[in-house]
Amino acid sequence: MSVSTYTVTGMTCEHCVRAVTEEVSQIPGVTDVEVDLASGGLTVHADAEPDRTAVAAAVDEAGYELGS
């Protein structure tokens, strides 16, 4: 089990949180996703360390940006 944390920029509401959660949840191997609107924090629980490029692409698909 792997837990990875990221920062997402551009989220302003609960709809943003749901969109990011939905997209990141579709990455193969991801078992749980937690998004904190106030901090922009994204925590991804997965079977193995998720590829950062895949996470960035999922966040982008939701309409937001993965911070550095």
> CA–CA separation, 13 vs 54, rounded Å?
23
> CA–CA separation, 20 vs 60, rounded Å?
9
Averaged pLDDT score across all residues of the chain: 96
pTM listed for this prediction: 0.94
- The 8-class DSSP code of residue 47 comes to S
The kind and range of the H/E element at 57 are helix 52-62
C-alpha 46 chain-centroid distance? 12
pLDDT digits (tens, 9 = 90+) for 6-39: 999 999 999 999 999 999 999 999 999 999 999 9
What is the arithmetic mean of pLDDT over 40-60?
96
Question: Where exactly are the structural domains of the chain?
Answer: 14-41+51-68
Instruction: Find the radius of gyration of the CA atoms of the chain.
Output: 10
**Predicted pLDDT at 23:** 98
Residue type, 52: R
